């Protein structure tokens, strides 16, 4: 339970950070526990975290501001171990070096600064820029589905000292960030995100479509638009073939009959001349 001093200080800091949030950062205390704060960091431009959505917690001690909070980032980032306590000069790993004048905004700005560096500490991990961009692209999906466990969630929430892992179906994130969660689901629908993997899928009707556009189906069922188009194509081809054959080919029976008639006529004339 927070002391009166901690309660007063954190209430004032919530008002300050709500009215003047630092760039790329938003934060608020839990409705049920003012010592449990939730933050969202939006990945800055010109970093491999660009447009990523990174959710984490600050767990303050009851005697704050005379001791620092435990700092965790739950969203996989390729920079920190998810939900692990981070060893920073502004975290509970170093209570003696913490300055009571530092505020929540100071702590989160320091966390963002460390995140975009390559410094190594307890809780940090090595990763390539490509890997971190992949994590950034799937961060909204991870937050709102609990890492793809949304469909099988039983609705339970892990309250273990801010330690949130994949598997809760996004329940904890949704309870703390309901408006952001709705935006995430809309974003996933618009971008055809596979809820099981977080990977964007091709819209139905576009997969396998060639660059030359749709092809005519000559074998389409009669009566449909495809069948009508097929018949039209056949008619045009037949007309072109008929035009190429010429008058002589098209009237061959008449020509043969005329030749026979002339032959018979000549034979009779010759026969009569011999009598």
C-alpha 3: how far from chain center? 43
Residues making up the chain, counted from first to last = 275
102 within 8 A of 65, measured Cβ to Cβ: yes
Tokens of 155: 């609705």
Could you tell me the strand order of the sheet in which 25-29 lies?
A: 25-29, 36-42, 53-59, 70-73
166 within 8 A of 150, measured Cβ to Cβ: no
Catalytic (active-site) positions: 87
Closest listed residue to residue 174, CA positions, set 137, 139, 146: 146
Q: Is the dihedral of CA 75, 81, 87, 89 positive or negative?
A: negative
The conformational region for residue 64 under phi > 0 = left, psi -120 to 50 = alpha, else beta, is beta
Look at strands 25-29 and 53-59 and give their pairing. Answer: unpaired
Rg (CA), the chain: 38
């Amino acid at each position: 339970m927070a002391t009166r001093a901690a309660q007063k200080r954190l209430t004032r800091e919530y008002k300050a950070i709500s009215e003047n949030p630092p760039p790329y950062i938003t934060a608020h205390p839990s409705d049920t526990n003012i010592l449990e704060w939730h933050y969202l960091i939006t990945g800055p431009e010109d970093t491999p975290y660009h447009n990523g959505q990174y959710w984490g917690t600050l767990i303050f001690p009851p005697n704050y501001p005379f001791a620092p909070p435990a700092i965790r980032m739950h969203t996989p980032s390729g920079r920190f171990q998810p939900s692990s306590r981070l060893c920073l000069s502004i975290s509970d790993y170093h209570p003696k070096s913490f300055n009571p004048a530092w505020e929540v905004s100071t702590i989160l700005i320091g966390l963002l600064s460390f995140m975009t560096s390559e410094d190594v500490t307890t809780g940090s991990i090595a990763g390539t820029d490509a890997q971190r961009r992949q994590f950034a692209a799937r961060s909204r999906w991870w937050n709102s589905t609990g890492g793809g466990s949304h469909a099988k969630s039983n609705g339970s929430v892990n309250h273990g000292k801010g330690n949130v892992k994949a598997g809760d179906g996004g329940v904890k994130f949704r309870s703390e960030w309901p408006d952001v969660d709705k935006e995430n689901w809309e974003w996933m629908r618009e971008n055809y995100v596979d809820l099981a993997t977080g990977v964007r899928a091709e819209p139905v009707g576009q997969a396998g479509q060639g660059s030359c556009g749709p092809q005519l189906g000559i074998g389409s069922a009669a009566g449909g638009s495809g069948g009508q188009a097929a018949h039209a194509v056949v008619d045009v081809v037949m007309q072109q073939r008929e035009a190429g054959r010429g008058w002589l080919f098209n009237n061959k029976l008449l020509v043969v009959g005329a030749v026979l008639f002339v032959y018979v006529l000549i034979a009779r004339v010759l026969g009569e001349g011999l009598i």
